[in-house]
Amino acid sequence: MLLDLNEEETLLKESLDQFAAGAIRPKIKPFVDRHEFPTDLVKEFLSLGFMGTAYDPNFGGGGLGARGSSIVAEVLARAEPGFAAIYLCNSAPMSVIARYGSDELKRKWLEPLCRGDFIASFGVTEPSGGSDVASIKTRAVEDGDSFVLSGSKVFSTNAGTPLHGASTFVAVTDPELGPKGLSTFVVPVGTPGFKVGKPGRKIGWRIADSVELFLDDCRVPKSNMVGNRGDGLKQILTTLSLGRILVGASGLGLARKAMDLAKVYGAGRKIGGTPIFNHQGLTFPLADGLTKIHAAELMIRNAACLADAGRPFRLETSMAKLFATEMASEVADIALQVHGGYGVFEEYEVSGLLGEARVLRILEGTSEIQRLVIARELLA
């Protein structure tokens, strides 16, 4: 498979590289050090229209699909992994609305999200559920022309930030139907009963706030249901599969960042008068890392192409996400080893990459979940 970008993708990447070089890299470190959401930098990013890259131009998007959005995630992660997190966690609610929402819902929510008027969060994981999305307990009870939602979600990234405008929630509408009784709703910030917890400090995604969300008799109109009643589980699984492409692309960008740092540091470092890259003990692991980076890129591009072509892609996204995120941890570890003792000091950017990479192996389905998906496909 050729990795050549088409003209639109090339222009997208060039624009992103310029933004990363001119805005993210020179300004982001204080926010990372403080674990602080970079409001003004995100506003600048939103104003450039990158959030709409994947989506239908009829609703304000760029029409570049999963291939385009994977480019965005990779470039952002190569600059700062937490910035890619803000992008991909906004993409999840956008994707579910784009794929399943009515035209009315898309006009009301997808268009302003594509314009960058605000950002959204995805409410799926619950305190007692973890990866078991079928065990969701949040309830949505029909009441006249509304649904009343009650429950809580955890690990909702982007929620509670100054730019947070809405969240999508998956809730039980028909408990007697089990997993087929789930539905998805858009809940605007400011809706009575919608409360946001405080963000915690994480080992990765340090600039991307992740919080618990609470719904206490939270009333929304029926028109805020995304797609059909009872389609929530299908919507979750498809959205997570699309998200795995972006998580994998984030791992790819992070690995390239780690490789960049290792090359720059190693090129100027000598031990006993000998450049450290004269030692195969360091260069062979880097060679292995570079090989795996290339393999991850092929897998991510293949998964994105399948998604854009409307072909089955769940298996390929699981394999790409598993491989790319495990690879990112390996390359981050190699890069830190190249730095030696300096690599453990926070003054060196490489010190934070292991934590950033570790996060990627958990979200959008852990590595164990990906192996389960792959094994089931193998035995089908």
Instruction: Convert the pLDDT of each residue in 56-72 to its tens digit.
Output: 999 999 999 999 999 99
Only one residue has tokens 């540091």, namely 265
Token output for 140: 């949505």
Confidence at residue 121, expressed as pLDDT on a 0 to 100 scale: 97
Check whether residue 312 and residue 322 sit in a common domain.
yes
| Statement to judge: residues 24 and 86 lie in one domain | yes
CATH code (residue 308) = 1.20.140.10
Q: Which of 14, 212, 217, 226 is nearest to 99 (CA)?
A: 226
CATH number, position 190? 2.40.110.10
What residues are labeled active site? 364
- Please check whether residues 131 and 46 belong to one and the same domain: no
Among the ranges given (74-78, 213-217, 276-280, 283-287), the one the predictor scored with the smallest mean pLDDT:
276-280
Place of tokens 């980076």: 293
Same domain, 112 and 136: no
Alpha-helix residue ranges (DSSP H) falling in the chain:
7-19, 25-27, 29-34, 39-47, 65-79, 81-100, 103-105, 111-115, 232-268, 280-308, 314-339, 353-360, 367-379
Q: Are residues 375 and 238 in the same domain?
A: yes
- Residue 252 maps to a domain: yes
Residue 197 has pLDDT above 70, yes or no: yes
Are 49 and 158 part of one and the same domain? no
Output the pLDDT for position 340: 92
User: Is the C-alpha dihedral spanning 95, 131, 313, 233 positive or negative?
Assistant: negative
- Residues 239, 222 share a domain: no
Q: Is the pLDDT of residue 1 over 70?
A: no
- Dihedrals phi, psi of 122, to nearest 5 degrees: -115, 125
Mean pLDDT of 92-118: 98
Q: What does pTM read for this prediction?
A: 0.95
| pLDDT at residue 268, rounded to an integer | 84
Average pLDDT over residues 151-165: 97
The residue among 228, 259, 293 that closes a domain is: 228
What average pLDDT does the segment 207-215 reach?
Answer: 97
Domain boundary among 58, 91, 119: 119
Q: What is the pLDDT of residue 222?
A: 97
Q: Is residue 45 part of a domain?
A: yes
Residue 55 lies in a domain: yes
Report yes or no on 189 lying in a domain. yes
Question: Domain range for residue 270?
Answer: 233-379
Q: Total domain count for the chain?
A: 3
DSSP track, 133-179: GGG---EEEEETTEEEEEEEEEEEETTTSTTEEEEEEEEES-GGGGG
Q: Which two tokens stand for residue 299?
A: 């897998």
341 lies in the same domain as 290:
yes
Query: Is 19 domain-assigned?
Result: yes
Q: Classify residue 2: in a domain, yes or no.
A: no
Instruction: Summarize pLDDT for 113-132 with one digit per residue, the tens.
Output: 999 999 999 999 998 876 67
Question: Do 174 and 248 belong together in one domain?
Answer: no
Tokens of 300: 């991510």
- The pLDDT of residue 2 is 58
pLDDT at position 4: 85
Mean pLDDT of the chain: 95
For residues 237 and 372, state if they share a domain. Answer: yes
Q: Which of 99, 119, 139 is the C-terminal boundary of a domain?
A: 119
Q: Are 109 and 128 within one domain? A: no
The CA distance from 20 to 207, in Å, is: 15
pLDDT in tens, 248-264: 999 999 999 999 999 99
Average of per-residue pLDDT across 19-28: 98
| 188 & 203 share domain | yes
Residue 145, classified by CB atoms within 10 Å of its CB into exposed (0-12), middle (13-18) or buried (19+), is exposed
What's the average model confidence in pLDDT over 300-306?
96
CA atoms of 295 and 318, how far apart (whole Å): 15
